[in-house]
Structure 1
Amino acid sequence: MQSIPHVDMSVFKTDFDKFVQSIGEGYEVNGFVALTHHGIPASTIHQALDATRDLFALPEDVKKQYHKPGLGGARGYTPFGTEIAKDAKHVDLKEFWHVGREVENSDEYPQLVANVWPKELPSFKATMTELFSALDELGNQVLEGIAVYLGQPRDYFRKRVNKGNSILRPLHYPPIVDKGTPSVRAAAHEDINVITLLIGSREPGLEVMSKSGAWIPVTILEGAIICNVGDMLQRLTNGLLPSTTHRVVNPPAPYNEVSRYSIPFFLHFNPDVMIEALPQCVSDENPAKWPPITADDYLMERLREIGLIK
């Protein structure tokens, strides 16, 4: 594998059966694809990346006003050097902000807490909610293809993620001051959620582990959106669709002397969805690998592992 497979999202409307095969086979290879012709305007993406740059350019004391202790980083600001990958020895070299689903009330799912918006950037809310909605819909289209590939009804996932605790994460990797640091921008890890959609970055560094154990730099067409399988979907498919280890390495000069910005969207199941291997993904040769668990219980378990919940 030289890089990740590309999937043309325009086929979703013109030849759904072909889309199903390309998305399913793409994910079976290595859990990562790049979505082209996805329909999200370049202006929406560039505005969001510019807003991310403006957000992290705010003074430290201003950003820290939006850090909410006890929430596990669920909304608002998480300072530099907080998150650590599962089983890693050093913290990641990043700071980030979490935007969740905008909800009228959280009676059904108290996990869907109110968003935190920086009053210093009045356009930030509109920019990020527009991107959240666009990526949420794109993710649902991907999941429609995956559902049919797995022998499920086309709307199997839509009704299981429509109130999910999904997260948009504007992310900043600052310039690397200490060139000898043992830390990297994001240590090797797998994502917790169902699928992740990633816009940006305009800088190199993302690498995916191939099945042979080699690290593959991700090279994609300009404007494509990277979309990978998370651990929740891996559990649901009993490993048929793999959640692949990936990392963001410290790049060579001159890239290590500038900031890197990206915005992943972590698409989640509704909190009460039971994650249990689909019957057609279980066989004598491939028995069920994991016990059933609710999406919220699994999320909390993993957030403790990466240091966001103590």
Structure 2
Amino acid sequence: MKHVPTLDIRRFDTDREAFVAELGAAYREFGFCGIRGHGIDPALIDGAYQAFQALFALPDAVKRQYHLSGAGGARGYTPFKVETAKDSRHPDLKEFWHIGREIDRGHVYAERMPPNIWPPEVPALREYGYGLYQALDQLGRRVLQALALHIELPIDFFEDKVQFGNSILRPLHYPPLPEGEVPNVRAGAHEDINLITLLVGASAAGLEVLGRDGEWLPITTQGDAIVVNIGDMLQRLTNHVYPSTTHRVVNPPGEAGRQSRYSVPFFLHPNPDVVLDPLPQTITADNPNRYPESITAHDYLMQRLREIKLIA
């Protein structure tokens, strides 16, 4: 049976050419790859998870104080059964919180990146939540360096396009499933909107990726591995050389479904004004330009948030 590979990113420094080739091949086939050897402190990840669990354990009325109506969930709390996968009839069985980039309120992007919400009920959230945000942001930039090299771009090609990216850390809580038949799944089949997603906490069963053959492949990680996948913005920028692969979180059977599931994706976005035109080196006779209409990262994000019912 096929499986999504896991690669050690330390080889980017010791065996660069081979690592870049293997990473690029994994993404061209699956749109997903596990990354280990990333050096993120396990104590940071554990501390963040403890803060996130405390956050979701707050009374519903308290959490809803941090839900900003009309903001598309850009910061703070989004309640259970709000987000709906594109073309899905049922909302996802999850609640989540959004942590974004901390920027000066006089910054040119400040209007598009609101300040974070740090609830006093969970004082550890700021230290551990934003600490994990920064660590995943740095790891994501390293992955983008390797992806750039694989398609013969300069190693630093993405650097000035993501350093103020509208990236989001999204702690997720899938509550225990109710008894009996459940018409919806924890997260319906979808593709991510952003450049790449880094997922901390795919150790619990449920995450599945749709293979080229139409079969669903389960993904679970071991050790320190973080699952990193391509989003629609990078698929667009690379004219589908790097595919954004459909994935979902299914409901586990039996007793496993009676337990909460937590996971923490980091959605790495470009700067809001980056234009998502396909790169010239990805346009060929066999792969003509699929996106002749230009769009900025911010406008694309807004378009997609409407599709998944996070904004009207």
Residues 37 and 225 in structure 2, CA contact (< 8 A), matched pair in contact too:
yes
The partner residue of 1:296 within 291, 298, 302 is 298
Partner of 1:42: 42
Structure 2: distance between partners of 1:218 and 1:201: 7
Partner of 2:14: 14
Residues 3 and 219 in structure 1, CA contact (< 8 A), matched pair in contact too:
no
Structure 2: distance between partners of 1:179 and 1:173: 17
Which stretch shifts more, 71-80 or 45-54? 45-54
Structure 2 counterpart of 1:307, one-letter code:
K
Structure 2 counterpart of 1:152, one-letter code:
L
Residues 203 and 255 in structure 1, CA contact (< 8 A), matched pair in contact too:
no
What is the Cα deviation at residue 106 of structure 1?
4.7
Residues 99 and 167 in structure 1, CA contact (< 8 A), matched pair in contact too:
yes
Structure 2 counterpart of 1:4, one-letter code:
V
The secondary structure found in structure 2 opposite 1:216 is strand
Which stretch shifts more, 56-65 or 11-20? 11-20
Structure 2: distance between partners of 1:51 and 1:185: 22
Structure 2: distance between partners of 1:308 and 1:262: 20
Q: How does 1:84-103 map to 2 (within 5 A)?
A: 84-103=84-103
Partner of 2:143: 142
Structure 1: distance between partners of 2:285 and 2:260: 49
Residues 236 and 275 in structure 1, CA contact (< 8 A), matched pair in contact too:
yes
What is the Cα deviation at residue 178 of structure 1?
4.2
Q: TM-score, length-normalised on structure 1?
A: 0.98
Structure 2: distance between partners of 1:118 and 1:253: 35
Q: What are structure 1's unaligned runs of at least 5 residues?
A: none
For residues 199-219 of structure 1, what are the alpha-carbon distances to aligned partners after superposition, in whole Å with 9 as ceiling and x for unaligned? Answer: 014421000000001001113
Q: TM-score, length-normalised on structure 2?
A: 0.97
The secondary structure found in structure 2 opposite 1:308 is coil
Residues 196 and 267 in structure 1, CA contact (< 8 A), matched pair in contact too:
yes
Structure 2 counterpart of 1:52, one-letter code:
F
What is the Cα deviation at residue 190 of structure 1?
0.2
Partner of 2:5: 5
Structure 2: distance between partners of 1:202 and 1:18: 27
Q: What are structure 2's unaligned runs of at least 5 residues?
A: none
Q: How does 1:1-310 map to 2 (within 5 A)?
A: 2-109=2-109, 110-290=111-291, 291-310=293-312
Residues 205 and 248 in structure 1, CA contact (< 8 A), matched pair in contact too:
yes
Which stretch shifts more, 78-87 or 49-58? 49-58
Question: CA 1:268–1:106 in 2, change beyond 3 Å: closer, same or farther?
Answer: farther
Report the count of equivalent residues. Answer: 310
Structure 1: distance between partners of 2:125 and 2:227: 23
Residues 202 and 260 in structure 1, CA contact (< 8 A), matched pair in contact too:
no
Residues 81 and 92 in structure 1, CA contact (< 8 A), matched pair in contact too:
yes
Structure 1 counterpart of 2:128, one-letter code:
T
Residues 202 and 221 in structure 2, CA contact (< 8 A), matched pair in contact too:
no
Structure 2: distance between partners of 1:141 and 1:276: 22
Structure 2: distance between partners of 1:283 and 1:133: 37
How high is the sequence identity, in percent, across the aligned residues? 52
For residues 120-147 of structure 1, what are the alpha-carbon distances to aligned partners after superposition, in whole Å with 9 as ceiling and x for unaligned? Answer: 0111100011100000000000000011
Residues 106 and 113 in structure 1, CA contact (< 8 A), matched pair in contact too:
no
What is the Cα deviation at residue 263 of structure 1?
0.3
What is the Cα deviation at residue 253 of structure 1?
1.6
Which stretch shifts more, 224-233 or 214-223? 214-223
